[in-house]
C-alpha cells in the first residue's frame, strides 16, 4: 500500500502575517538594543515589548541574529538586505553626492544600533563574527561598485571609501564634533572624489 504524499498548504495571508510579525520583532529588538544595549536586552524583553510570545521571538532567530537583522533594517530598511543596492541604487553611481547622501541617511538611521552592535561584538563571539563578515562583504561590495563605475577596485581604495562612509566617521563628525548631516554628506562626497582622482 502506497501512502499518498501530503499536500503542502500555502496561504498568502498566513505568509504575510508571518512577515509582519517578523518585521515587528526585528524593529522592536532594534529599538531595545539601541536604548538598552545588547547585554541589557533579553529575548523575553523583546517578546514582551513586541507583544508576541517568547517562542515567536526565538523562531525569528537567536539574539545575535536579531541584532544583525535590526542593524540591516535600520541601515537599509530591510532586515534581509545583503548589500547597499537598497540605499545607493542598483545602477552605477551617477551622482556621487546623491549616492553618499542615501548611504549617509542609512547610517544616520542605524547609528544607535551600530553602537550596540560594536559593544556586543567585544563580548559575544557570534556578534563579533557577524560584524567581521559584514566588514568583508562591505569591502567586496564597494570594490564591485567601483569597478562598475570604471575605477580600480583595489582593497586600499575600497577601504578608504568604506572608512569615509562608515558609521564611526559619521558618528564622530555629527555626534562628537557637531557637524550637520548635510555638511557630512558634502565632505564625504568630496573626500571620496579626491580618493577616486588620486
Quick: pLDDT tens for 63-95. 999 999 999 999 988 777 666 665 655 444 458
For the chain, what is the mean pLDDT?
88
Residue 8, pLDDT above cutoff 70: no
Torsions phi, psi of 37, nearest 5?
Answer: 85, 170
Q: Does residue 125 lie in a domain region?
A: yes
pLDDT at 169: 97
pLDDT at 1: 60
Q: Does residue 105 lie in a domain region?
A: yes
Q: Does residue 129 lie in a domain region?
A: yes
pLDDT at 91: 44
* Alpha-carbon Rg for the chain in angstroms: 20
Task: Give the mean model confidence (pLDDT) for residues 104-116.
Answer: 94
Q: Does residue 10 lie in a domain region?
A: no
Query: How many folded domains does the chain comprise?
Result: 1
pLDDT at 57: 94
Residue 121, pLDDT above cutoff 80: yes
Task: Give the mean model confidence (pLDDT) for residues 81-110.
Answer: 74
Domain that holds residue 148: 63-196
CA distances from 20 to 4, 16, 157, 175 (A): 34, 6, 39, 33
Task: Give the mean model confidence (pLDDT) for residues 161-181.
Answer: 96
Q: Does residue 14 lie in a domain region?
A: no
Q: Count H helices, E strands: the chain?
A: 10, 0
Residue 120, pLDDT above cutoff 60: yes
Q: Does residue 1 lie in a domain region?
A: no
Amino acid at each position: 500500500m502506497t501512502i499518498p504524499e501530503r499536500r503542502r498548504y500555502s496561504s498568502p495571508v498566513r505568509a504575510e502575517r508571518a512577515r509582519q510579525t517578523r518585521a515587528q520583532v526585528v524593529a522592536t529588538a532594534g529599538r531595545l538594543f539601541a536604548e538598552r544595549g545588547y547585554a541589557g536586552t533579553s529575548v523575553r524583553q523583546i517578546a514582551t515589548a513586541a507583544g508576541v510570545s517568547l517562542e515567536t521571538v526565538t523562531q525569528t532567530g537567536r539574539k545575535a541574529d536579531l541584532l544583525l537583522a535590526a542593524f540591516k533594517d535600520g541601515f537599509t530598511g530591510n532586515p534581509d538586505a545583503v548589500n547597499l543596492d537598497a540605499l545607493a541604487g542598483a545602477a552605477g553611481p551617477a551622482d556621487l553626492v546623491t549616492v553618499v547622501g542615501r548611504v549617509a541617511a542609512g547610517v544616520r538611521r542605524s547609528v544607535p544600533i551600530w553602537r550596540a552592535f560594536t559593544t556586543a561584538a567585544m563580548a559575544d563571539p557570534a556578534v563579533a563574527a557577524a560584524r567581521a563578515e559584514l566588514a568583508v562583504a562591505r569591502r567586496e561590495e564597494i570594490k564591485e561598485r567601483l569597478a562598475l563605475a570604471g575605477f580600480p577596485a583595489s582593497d586600499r581604495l575600497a577601504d578608504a571609501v568604506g572608512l569615509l562612509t562608515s558609521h564611526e566617521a559619521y558618528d564622530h563628525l555629527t555626534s562628537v564634533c557637531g557637524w550637520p548631516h548635510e555638511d557630512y554628506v558634502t565632505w564625504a562626497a568630496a573626500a571620496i572624489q579626491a580618493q577616486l582622482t588620486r
